[in-house]
Amino acid sequence: MSTMVERLARAIYEKRNGAGCRPWGIQTKVHKAPYLDDARAAIEALMEPTEAMLDAVADEEDKRGIPNSVIDALIAEEAWPLMIQAALKEQA
């Protein structure tokens, strides 16, 4: 199983290079490096959820009857950054 950074790097590589590009798995480390850097930057940008992201969670909580303040605090202040940090620390 690949790390989140590698999964994102591969997705960026395939999107930029289109159908028929050389497979990610045969690329050299040097060729992969800029894509891995881009993936890390993308994950870092996700560190802080947007208002729309928090609102989506709040809407779902309303549907389920979960107190918004409990889940919002956990996701925004604790769980979300921990998940992003873990994704950045994963080793291939």
Mean pLDDT taken over the chain: 82
Q: Which residue has the higher pLDDT, 77 or 80?
A: 80
Question: Is 66's pLDDT higher than 80?
Answer: no
Three-class secondary structure of residue 3 per DSSP: coil
Question: Is 76's pLDDT higher than 80?
Answer: no
Q: What would the mean pLDDT of 12-20 be, rounded to a whole number?
A: 94
Instruction: Give the angle subtended at the CA of 86 by the CAs of 83 and 87, to the nearest 5°.
Output: 90
Question: Is 60's pLDDT higher than 70?
Answer: no
